Amino acid sequence: MNSMSDKAHYPPINPVTAGLSGHCPRCGQGKLFKGFIGLRDRCSTCNLDFDFADSGDGPAVFVIMLVGFIIVGLVLAVELAYQPPIWLHMVIWLPLTIILAGAILRPLKGLMIAMQHRHNAQEGALDNDDGDRS
């Protein structure tokens, strides 16, 4: 089913809302994930095939940047204010880093997949001078 017929049969869905909540980017109803970050084969509501969905390492990069920014800022603030021993830093910041990364990985992956669907993103291809795609 092409994107033109998608627009005719399904009302526009906000990709941010659908992606962050882990729902189908076309209908906004069906579940996108099976398990923690594994994708379903297709939407149980509208039957959209999720083969187009390849977020790659994108969500992980954003997780690293966001969580790293938050944790480093907090570590510096605590170190400058209290100067705790290194073992206390490890006890506090390692679990917090893992919890934050786990908490935002799935919503960011859903968001990237929803944006791929919204913009009809496909695997990279170059245009030839003939107008053919290869």
Strand pairing partners for 33? 39
Evaluate whether residue 128 is within a structural domain. Answer: no
Cβ atoms of 10 and 21 within 8 Å: the answer is no
Nearest to 19, CA basis, from 119, 94, 100: 119
Of 32-46, 73-87, 90-104, 110-124, which range is least confident?
A: 110-124
Cβ atoms of 43 and 30 within 8 Å: the answer is yes
Residues in Cβ contact with 32 at an 8 Å cutoff, skipping those fewer than 6 apart = 18, 19, 22, 23, 24, 25, 39, 40, 43, 50, 110, 113
Domains in the chain: how many in total? Answer: 1
Evaluate whether residue 130 is within a structural domain. Answer: no
- In this model, does residue 109 exceed pLDDT 60? yes
- In this model, does residue 95 exceed pLDDT 90? yes
pTM, to two decimals: 0.82
Residue 87's domain comprises 3-118
Evaluate whether residue 132 is within a structural domain. Answer: no
- In this model, does residue 70 exceed pLDDT 50? yes
Cβ atoms of 28 and 117 within 8 Å: the answer is no
Evaluate whether residue 134 is within a structural domain. Answer: no
Of 48 and 4, the one with more pLDDT: 48
Evaluate whether residue 127 is within a structural domain. Answer: no
pLDDT value of residue 1: 46
- In this model, does residue 129 exceed pLDDT 50? yes
pLDDT over 70 for what percent of the chain? 86
- In this model, does residue 83 exceed pLDDT 70? yes
Evaluate whether residue 82 is within a structural domain. Answer: yes
pLDDT averaged over every residue in the chain: 88
Of 5-9, 59-63, 109-113, which range is least confident?
A: 5-9
